[in-house]
Amino acid sequence: MDARAIIETLRDGGEPTQAQMTWFANGLATGAVTDAQAGAFAMAVCLRGLSEEARVALTLAMRDSGDVLEWKLKTPVVDKHSTGGIGDCVSLLLAPMLAAVGVANPMISGRGLGHTGGTLDKLEAIPGVSTDVDETTFRRMVDDIGCAIVSASKRIAPADKRLYAVRDVTGTVESIDLITASILSKKLAAGLGSLILDVKCGSGAFMKTRDDAVALARSLVSTANGAGCRTAALVTAMDQPLASTAGNALEVAEVMQALTAPRNSRLVDLTLALGAELMLLAKVDVSPEVAAGKLLDTLKSGRAAEKFDAMIEALGGPARFSEDWQSRLPEANVIREIAAPQSGKIAALDGHAIGLAVVRLGGGRLREGDRIDPSVGFSDILPLGAEVSKGEPVARLHAAGEKAAQEAERAYLDALTIGERAEPLPLMIERVG
The string of pLDDT tens digits covering residues 94-146 is 999 999 999 999 999 888 767 777 899 999 999 999 999 999 999 999 999 99
Is residue 186 part of the annotated active site? The answer reads: yes
Distance of CA 396 to the CA centre of its chain: 24
Collect the ranges in the chain with pLDDT lower than 70. Answer: 113, 368
Number of independent structural domains in the chain: 3
Question: Of 115, 161, 186, 352, which one is the catalytic site residue?
Answer: 186
- pLDDT, one tens digit per residue, over 249-296 is 999 999 999 999 998 899 999 999 999 999 999 999 879 999 999 999
Q: Let me know whether 366 and 283 are in one domain.
A: no
- Report which residue type is found at 95: A
Q: Let me know whether 27 and 126 are in one domain.
A: no
- Give the pLDDT confidence score for residue 368 in this predicted structure: 66
- Give the pLDDT confidence score for residue 112 in this predicted structure: 75
- Report which residue type is found at 325: W
Residue 429 counted as domain residue: no
- Give the pLDDT confidence score for residue 365 in this predicted structure: 81
- Paired strand residues for 81: 197
Is residue 79 part of the annotated active site? The answer reads: yes
Distance, in Å, from the CA atom of 405 to the CA atom of 176, rounded to the nearest integer, reads 37
Residue 428 counted as domain residue: no
Q: Let me know whether 51 and 116 are in one domain.
A: no
Is residue 307 part of the annotated active site? The answer reads: no
Picking from 323, 350, 376, the residue at the C-terminal end of a domain is 323
Q: Let me know whether 8 and 58 are in one domain.
A: yes
Residue 433 counted as domain residue: no
Q: Let me know whether 210 and 274 are in one domain.
A: yes
Question: Of 82, 116, 223, 298, which one is the catalytic site residue?
Answer: 82
Question: Of 63, 115, 187, 398, which one is the catalytic site residue?
Answer: 187
> Read out DSSP for 211-236?
HHHHHHHHHHHHHHHHTT-EEEEEEE
Q: Let me know whether 291 and 152 are in one domain.
A: yes
Q: What is the CATH number of the domain that holds 272?
A: 3.40.1030.10
- Give the pLDDT confidence score for residue 111 in this predicted structure: 80
Question: Of 80, 218, 230, 352, which one is the catalytic site residue?
Answer: 80
Picking from 283, 302, 323, the residue at the C-terminal end of a domain is 323
Is residue 82 part of the annotated active site? The answer reads: yes
Question: Of 91, 119, 185, 203, which one is the catalytic site residue?
Answer: 119
- Give the pLDDT confidence score for residue 84 in this predicted structure: 87
- Give the pLDDT confidence score for residue 121 in this predicted structure: 93
Residue 328 counted as domain residue: no
Picking from 40, 64, 88, the residue at the C-terminal end of a domain is 64
- Give the pLDDT confidence score for residue 110 in this predicted structure: 81
- Give the pLDDT confidence score for residue 185 in this predicted structure: 95
Q: Let me know whether 266 and 117 are in one domain.
A: yes
Q: Let me know whether 222 and 301 are in one domain.
A: yes
Q: Let me know whether 227 and 367 are in one domain.
A: no
Q: Let me know whether 54 and 122 are in one domain.
A: no
Question: Of 22, 55, 65, 81, which one is the catalytic site residue?
Answer: 81
Residue 28 counted as domain residue: yes
Is residue 167 part of the annotated active site? The answer reads: yes
Residue 424 counted as domain residue: no
Q: Let me know whether 196 and 148 are in one domain.
A: yes
Residue 72 counted as domain residue: no
The H-or-E segment that residue 149 falls in is: strand 147-151
Q: Let me know whether 201 and 349 are in one domain.
A: no
Question: Of 64, 67, 79, 160, which one is the catalytic site residue?
Answer: 79
Is residue 119 part of the annotated active site? The answer reads: yes
Domain interval for residue 391: 334-419
Residue 117 counted as domain residue: yes
Is residue 187 part of the annotated active site? The answer reads: yes
- Give the pLDDT confidence score for residue 168 in this predicted structure: 75
